[in-house]
Amino acid sequence: MSCCLVAGAVLIAAPLARAQTPAWPNKPIRLIVPVAPGGGTDIVARLVAQGLTERWGQSVVVDNHGGGGGVIGVSMVTKAPPDGYTMLLGSNGHITFAPALYRNLPYDTQKDLAPISLAANQPFVLAVHPSLPVRSVGELIALAKKNPGRITYGSGGSGGASHLGTELLQITTATSLVHVPYKGTGPGMTALLSGEVQISIIGVATVLPHMKTGKIRALAVTGARRSQAAPDLPTISEAGVAGYEFDVWYGLLFTAGTPRDIVVKTNAEIARVLKTPAVAERYASAGLEPVVTTPEEFAAMIKNEIPKWQKVVAAAGLKPE
């Protein structure tokens, strides 16, 4: 065979090979959730998985791997082949708190993961027991400044969202509160209802029923904008604490190195899933709000949040594990 014929055969074979490459996805996708079943992370994962399964005609299987503060599950994703068949549904606790809370993480959340999109925000509320004589954020700060180290706040555990969110508030307002950690959100909420602690920053869905009955007094929401579930509550920033912003967020990520076209395709599909009425209804009942970002916006947010929480952890005197 002449050189020209060989070259011609190669040129013909190359397009054929590309045409025979199977389209993605052509087999089930594993969506790893680094917590036990139940809770916001799991709710978002199952809704997104169901929506993507319906759109792609391929199963997106939720695979819970709790333990180690989420490190076990996240590690599984960072070590998976970058082929688009392993995704992570993580929160800021797993992605931006973890680098501050753990001394020797077996991965780098910025280098070993490929952000796809945010999927949800969970607004939190700054709430007080009615026995505390304050009705606004300004009054709470003034009282705390007059009584340093005497007002208590509860959380669902050291290093968790309610703990770090309140530590951020102390840093931002130059106040000193006493932390009382509990083993989970439920016991922390019970402590606030009983007056065992005076303040708590806690998810809006947990707080809302008790706000309506007057068993607790809500002062503000913690995020950058007002919550759809409690639109009359100002943000803490609106209430005069400039620069304060905190929500729990949930987002989807691939293993680093996953092809760009797969990331872009998944981002677009997630946006479509989150616009469906069924997802909107389920989100609202769980106190969640749908959020979609570009991969670049999500990556920039992660980059900005990591040093923010490192400063909070250091200021709180928490020792990395």
164 and 311 within one domain = no
Ramachandran region of residue 57, left (φ > 0), alpha (ψ -120 to 50) or beta?
A: left
The mean pLDDT value for 112-122 works out to: 97
The residue among 176, 203, 221 that closes a domain is: 221
Is 316's pLDDT higher than 90?
no
In a domain, 83, yes or no: yes
The mean pLDDT value for 33-55 works out to: 93
Alpha-carbon span 235 to 209, nearest angstrom: 19
Identify the pLDDT of residue 10. 46
137 and 204 within one domain = yes
Is 282's pLDDT higher than 80?
yes
203 and 131 within one domain = yes
Is 14's pLDDT higher than 90?
no
Identify the pLDDT of residue 18. 47
When pLDDT is cut at 50, 70 and 90, the band that residue 15 belongs to is: low
In a domain, 140, yes or no: yes
CA distances from 69 to 33, 123, 158, 165 (A): 12, 21, 11, 17
88 and 52 within one domain = yes
Mean pLDDT of the chain: 91
The mean pLDDT value for 255-263 works out to: 98
Identify the pLDDT of residue 257. 98
Domain boundaries, position 216:
124-221
Identify the pLDDT of residue 30. 98
Identify the pLDDT of residue 16. 46
In a domain, 233, yes or no: no
Q: What is the per-residue pLDDT across 123-145, written as a single tens digit (0 to 9) for each?
A: 999 999 999 999 999 999 999 99
Of 1-10, 70-79, 94-103, 162-171, the range with the lowest mean pLDDT is 1-10
253 and 195 within one domain = no
In a domain, 229, yes or no: no
CATH number of residue 195's parent domain: 3.40.190.10
Is 19's pLDDT higher than 90?
no
109 and 167 within one domain = no
In a domain, 239, yes or no: no
Encoded amino acid at 163, one letter: H
Is 68's pLDDT higher than 80?
yes
CATH number of residue 91's parent domain: 3.40.190.150
258 and 109 within one domain = yes
Total of domains in the chain? 2
285 and 147 within one domain = no
Alpha-carbon span 216 to 302, nearest angstrom: 33
Is 1's pLDDT higher than 60?
no
In a domain, 8, yes or no: no
The residue among 221, 238, 255 that closes a domain is: 221
Is 191's pLDDT higher than 70?
yes
203 and 138 within one domain = yes
Give the ranges where the chain is alpha helix by DSSP (H): 3-20, 39-56, 71-78, 92, 98-101, 137-146, 161-173, 185-194, 204-213, 260-274, 277-285, 295-315
Identify the pLDDT of residue 137. 98
152 and 211 within one domain = yes
Q: Residue 158: how many CB atoms within 10 A of its CB?
A: 13
132 and 80 within one domain = no
111 and 32 within one domain = yes
Q: For residue 269, what are its two tokens?
A: 């599909």
Is 12's pLDDT higher than 60?
no
Is 11's pLDDT higher than 90?
no
When pLDDT is cut at 50, 70 and 90, the band that residue 22 belongs to is: low
The mean pLDDT value for 105-122 works out to: 96
The residue among 221, 236, 255 that closes a domain is: 221
In a domain, 235, yes or no: no
Identify the pLDDT of residue 20. 44
CA distance between the termini of the chain: 67
When pLDDT is cut at 50, 70 and 90, the band that residue 319 belongs to is: confident
In a domain, 5, yes or no: no
The mean pLDDT value for 191-201 works out to: 97
